[in-house]
């Protein structure tokens, strides 16, 4: 694998094997407890267990997005498309936040300290068209994932570049990744390259392979 490809195609025997395994879990309903929880009362969603470290989960192609190569496009159904360099992105208003992470593979991690640009800051800049209903996230490794616009347009959603005061490492999706803390972590795209607003829903990489489209951990929306 070379470091200087922007978009690494998701093929190769090892990755296909991993993808097949995870699709199998989705089919078998692996890890399902069949219970729900109330986020107002229960901090830990059903079937999750707490970890102290931060595990790495991706398709195995971890693109090397250098500051020079970094570009972020915000386009689709917007009045004012944006094309940002890393300097442009860093010049936007920055916010500190603290949130929990919940991964569908059952680990949760509390009190992560982040710094980045609020989704709402970007939405004010691009001005979604009236018909915009969904957001599709595109990454440098070819990964995609989707949420509704109302799930993206939340005060705790950020495009983050610092975790615990340090630049987000390459393995965790640096220089800039998504963070949508109230959905399972597969909705938080690493190595973010583009955010596209659409009128129709466009299920992403895991969503077309058996993962739940909505991904609410407290409803245990792992698969479906």
Ligand X SMILES: Nc1nc2c(c(=O)[nH]1)N[C@H]1C(S)=C(S)[C@@H](COP(=O)(O)O)O[C@H]1N2
Identify which of 86, 100, 92 has the alpha carbon closest to the alpha carbon of residue 119: 92
Select 128 or 195, whichever has its Cβ closest to ligand X: 195
Q: Does 173 bind ligand X (CB under 6 A)?
A: yes
CB neighbours (10 Å) of residue 146?
A: 24
Residue 212 found at the interface with ligand X (CB under 6 A): no
Does residue 72 touch ligand X according to CB under 6 A? no
**Reduced 3-state DSSP string for 85-114:** CHHHHHHCCCEEEEEEEECCCCEEEEEEEE
Write the CA distances from 182 to 23, 41, 121, 185, 203, integer angstroms: 23, 14, 19, 9, 18
Residue with tokens 């025997």: 13
Q: Which one of Mo ion, ligand X, none is in contact with 173 (Cβ closer than 5 to 8 A by kind)?
A: ligand X
| Residue nearest to ligand X as judged by C-beta position | 139
Q: Cβ distance 220 to 195 under 8 Å?
A: no
Restricted to residues 91-120, the positions that interact with ligand X (CB under 6 A) are 103
Indicate the SS3 state at residue 172: helix
Positions in 12-71 near Mo ion (CB under 5 A): 57
Q: Which does 190 bind (CB under 5 to 8 A by kind): Mo ion, ligand X, none?
A: ligand X
Minimum CB–partner distance for residue 221 and Mo ion (Å): 13
Q: Is residue 6 within 8 Å of residue 200, measured between CB atoms? A: no
189 near ligand X, rule: CB under 6 A: yes
| Window contacting ligand X (CB under 6 A); options: 52-60, 64-72, 121-129, 147-155 | 52-60
Instruction: Encode burial over 206-216: b for 16+ CB neighbours within 10 A, e otherwise.
Output: bbeebbbbebb
Residue 59 interface partner, choices ligand X, Mo ion, none, CB cut-off 5-8 Å depending on type: ligand X
Decide: is 55 part of the binding site for ligand X (CB under 6 A): yes
**What does 56 interact with, of Mo ion, ligand X, none (CB < 5 to 8 A by kind)?**
ligand X
Provide the binding-site residues for Mo ion, judged by CB under 5 A.
57, 186
Provide the binding-site residues for ligand X, judged by CB under 6 A.
54-59, 103, 139, 141, 143, 172-173, 185-186, 188-191
């Amino acid at each position: 694998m070379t470091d200087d490809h922007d978009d690494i195609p998701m093929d190769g025997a090892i990755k296909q094997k991993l993808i097949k395994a995870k699709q199998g879990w989705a089919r078998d309903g692996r890890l399902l407890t069949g219970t729900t929880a109330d986020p107002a009362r229960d901090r830990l969603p059903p079937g999750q267990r707490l970890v102290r470290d931060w595990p790495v989960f991706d398709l195995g192609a971890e693109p090397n997005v250098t500051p020079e190569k970094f570009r972020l496009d915000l386009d689709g159904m917007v009045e004012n498309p944006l094309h940002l360099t890393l300097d442009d992105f860093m010049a936007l208003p920055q916010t500190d936040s603290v949130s929990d992470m919940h991964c569908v593979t059952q680990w949760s991690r509390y009190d992560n300290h982040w710094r980045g640009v609020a989704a709402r800051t970007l939405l004010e800049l691009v001005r979604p068209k009236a018909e915009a209903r969904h957001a599709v996230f595109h990454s440098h490794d070819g990964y995609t994932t989707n949420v509704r616009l109302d799930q993206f347009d939340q005060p705790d959603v950020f495009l983050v570049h610092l975790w615990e005061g340090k630049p987000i490492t390459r393995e965790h999706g640096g220089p800039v990744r998504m963070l949508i803390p109230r959905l399972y972590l597969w909705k938080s795209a690493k190595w973010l390259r583009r955010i596209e607003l659409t009128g129709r829903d466009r299920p992403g990489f895991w969503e077309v392979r058996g993962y739940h489209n909505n991904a609410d951990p407290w409803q245990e929306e792992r698969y479906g």
